[in-house]
Copies of this chain bind each other. A is one copy, B any other.
Amino acid sequence: MHEGLKKSVCDANIELHKQNLAIYSWGNVSGIDRKAGIVAIKPSGVLYEELTPDKIVMLDLDGKIVEGNLKPSSDAPTHLELYRSFNAIGGICHSHSLSATVWAQAGREIPCLGTTHADYFYGPIPVTEPMTEEEIKTDYELNVGRAIARRFAEINPMQIPAVLIANHGPFTWGKTADEAVEAMVILEEIAMMAIETLNINPDQTQISRELLDKHYLRKHGDTAYYGQNKK
């Protein structure tokens, strides 16, 4: 069952590896069937080269294994918390991609320094608060998900489909597992650009509200006119 979901989640994990955003088993992508309440996720510690759809683990939203012989990604509780908190998302991606991880390790949000960023993300990429001793000791991975949800209390996750876990790395999401990986690719690109922009001009500030609106809204929402399927 859910062969289509397993296949798409397997493909998205392999794509993450092909895009050079995850070596060994350093990343995991999941997808959800909202109607069935079933999440498909990468098994823990399996190399991308050895990943096949039948190894994808199926969980319900409480984390019970519904199908599959392998243990799910150790980050599964984070994924599940995000699916429970953000109703519109259909896929989630976690990686340790170089430049985004660097911003997470630096504990700094990625400012919106150009239209490449504004084309995909409607504002700076937020960073969570550092995990407390309490949050680390018990239900750590679940608490990571809660820290993300708290950080998005006043942000629309579909307008900024990415976050940096302080001292750790990025999570991205989208309507599908595929879109979550695409957001990760783009996050890595703008993270790299932002590092070098501030290298040249440490005082550079974010782009204007008008330019942010223009670029984000020409690709997203009712007034979008970029691409072939927009009005």
Q: Which residues of A contact B (CB under 8 A)?
A: 23-26, 43-46, 70-71, 74, 96, 98-99, 101-108, 113-116, 130-131, 133, 136-137, 140, 167-169, 182, 185-186, 189, 192-201, 204, 207-208, 210-211, 214, 218, 225-228
Complex contact A198–B200 (CB within 8 A): yes
Complex contact A208–B130 (CB within 8 A): yes
As for how many copies of this chain the complex holds, the number is 4
Chain B CB count within 10 A is highest, among A114, A193, A227, for: A114
> Could you list 29 examples of A-B contacts with CB < 8 Å?
A23-B189, A24-B186, A25-B227, A43-B228, A45-B226, A45-B227, A46-B228, A70-B228, A71-B227, A71-B228, A98-B189, A101-B193, A102-B193, A102-B196, A102-B199, A105-B193, A105-B197, A106-B197, A106-B200, A107-B201, A107-B204, A108-B200, A114-B168, A116-B169, A133-B208, A136-B211, A137-B210, A167-B207, A199-B199
Contact of A214 with B136 at beta-carbon distance under 8 Å, contacts A192-B98, A228-B44 already known: yes
Residue from the list B114, B189, B228 in contact with A105, Cβ < 8 A: B114
Docked pose: A194 CA to B24 CA in angstroms: 20
* Chain B residue with the shortest CB-CB distance to A218: B74
Name the B residues within 8 Å of A196 (CB-CB). 98-99, 102, 195
Complex contact B114–A101 (CB within 8 A): yes
Docked pose: A210 CA to B204 CA in angstroms: 33
Complex contact A167–B115 (CB within 8 A): yes
Nearest CB on B from A64, distance (A): 17
